[in-house]
Amino acid sequence: MTHSSHPLVRFYLKVGLMPQILLGLIFGIILAAVSKETALGMSLIGELFINALKSVAPILVLILVIASIANHQQGKQANMRALIMLYLSGMILAALLATFASFLFPSQISFGDALAQIKLTPPNGVKDVLKTLLNKMIDNPVNALVNANYIGLIIWGIGIGLALRHASQATKTMMNDLSYAISFIVRIIIRFAPLGVFGLVSSTLAETGFDELLKYAHLLGVLVSCMLIVALVINPLLAYYVMRKNPYPLVFTSLKYSAIPAFLTRSSAANIPVNIEICKKLNMDEDTYSVAVPLGAAINMSGAAVTITVLTLATVNSMHINVDIYSAVLLCIVSSVCACGASGIAGGSLLLIPVACSMFGIPNEISAKVIGIGIAIGVIQDSVETALNSSSDVVFIGAVSSAAQENGRQ
């Protein structure tokens, strides 16, 4: 009998990734409850998964930044100025909301032995944060890659990307292909997420007890609540500011026809045809939405900004690092920039958490474990995040188109 004909293998291949991760989560909880000793032995599986994420995340960030900037088509930003301002405003306001919610309802994450093995010198304020940030920005690119200095990688990625905008089309195509290749490797690693979550959850619960589940539920509650407020309050306010009329018919239409498919597919890129069809049915300006929908799927990531901010502040809070108001505002800006660079794969925003964590001197070993925890709760979080990202595109495009049509009539 071949492996492909085995019922369990066929079931595994047929069931989607999210149900598989959910099964891994459930089996991990059961194992920790039944046999603590066996569950502790599963820590190796979780460690292998975390180490795989640690190894691929730095090169992913560098290549994605280079490829996106090198292949940016000049002239589109000027045509999309109002829309891009909405995108950026939405992400920054989402990050500010997430910061406020994280201070109001602080989350905790247990890191077990990993935390005891690390000597951490937390920053004393925004001055230390800025000093760390500036030092990381001018790091040697090879050193930045080896030590997973994400801030340095982003700066070098921007510089190389800007230089390659004047390169030949063949070079730009090569960077796109390289970006696809690295993303493909990430997808392979993510396919092992069910096993990684199983090992991570079972060993963590066996080590820290089942109170950890309450921490996960609290963290998920803060994330989802922030995203709902963004969808139902912040986005409508921004849309009203632009279109000067009741935005909720547009908001509810986008939630019904864009958010639900995005929630199921968990991919903003896969939802591009859906959003284009919605814009067409709502008689929006074709010249606007034909460019704005793909652009929004790439850079309009309010949900990602919420995820990066909340999980970073949960990590900071768990490590007893004090964050002043200025450092929090700086984190919102960094989270928004990171959100723009979130890759198109499921859970892509999680891979950029180390960038924000590095502001506070948090090492890669800890931030990689946070990625694993994010994947564990991503059964719900990532679906809601994608639904918010995709529906926001329709709301903002509709607002800009409506304003343009009103100005055309006057």
- With CA atoms as reference, report the closest residue to 181 among 45, 64, 291, 317: 64
- Write phi, then psi, for 213 (nearest 5 degrees): -60, -40
- Are 362 and 383 in contact by the 8 Å Cβ rule? The answer is no
- Write phi, then psi, for 286 (nearest 5 degrees): -65, -40
* pLDDT value of position 76: 47
**In this structure, what token pair is assigned to residue 36?**
């603590």
Placement of tokens 């890759």 in the chain = 343
Exposed (0-12), middle (13-18) or buried (19+): which is 41, by Cβ within 10 Å?
middle
Placement of tokens 């000597």 in the chain = 119
Q: Show the low-confidence residues of the chain (pLDDT under 70).
A: 1-6, 8-18, 72-80, 112-129, 150, 264-265, 267, 269-270, 341-348, 407-410
| Other CB atoms within 10 A of residue 285 CB | 17
Rounded distance between C-alpha atoms, residue 288 and residue 322, angstroms? 44
* pLDDT value of position 202: 85
Question: Using one digit for the tens of pLDDT, what is the confidence trace for 113-163?
Answer: 555 455 555 555 566 667 777 777 788 888 888 877 767 887 888 888 888
CATH for 3-409? 1.10.3860
pTM: 0.75
Where exactly are the structural domains of the chain?
A: 3-409
Rounded distance between C-alpha atoms, residue 211 and residue 175, angstroms? 46
- Are 30 and 206 in contact by the 8 Å Cβ rule? The answer is no
* pLDDT value of position 99: 96
**In this structure, what token pair is assigned to residue 338?**
């990171």
Which alpha helices (DSSP H) does 209-342 contain, by range?
211-229, 235-243, 248-254, 260-265, 272-281, 286-299, 302-318, 325-340
Length of the chain: 410
Placement of tokens 């390289």 in the chain = 178
DSSP letter (8 states) at residue 213? H
Placement of tokens 């990689």 in the chain = 368
* pLDDT value of position 281: 92
Rounded distance between C-alpha atoms, residue 23 and residue 73, angstroms? 43
Q: Measuring CA to CA, how many Å separate 17 from each of 22, 23, 354?
A: 9, 10, 24
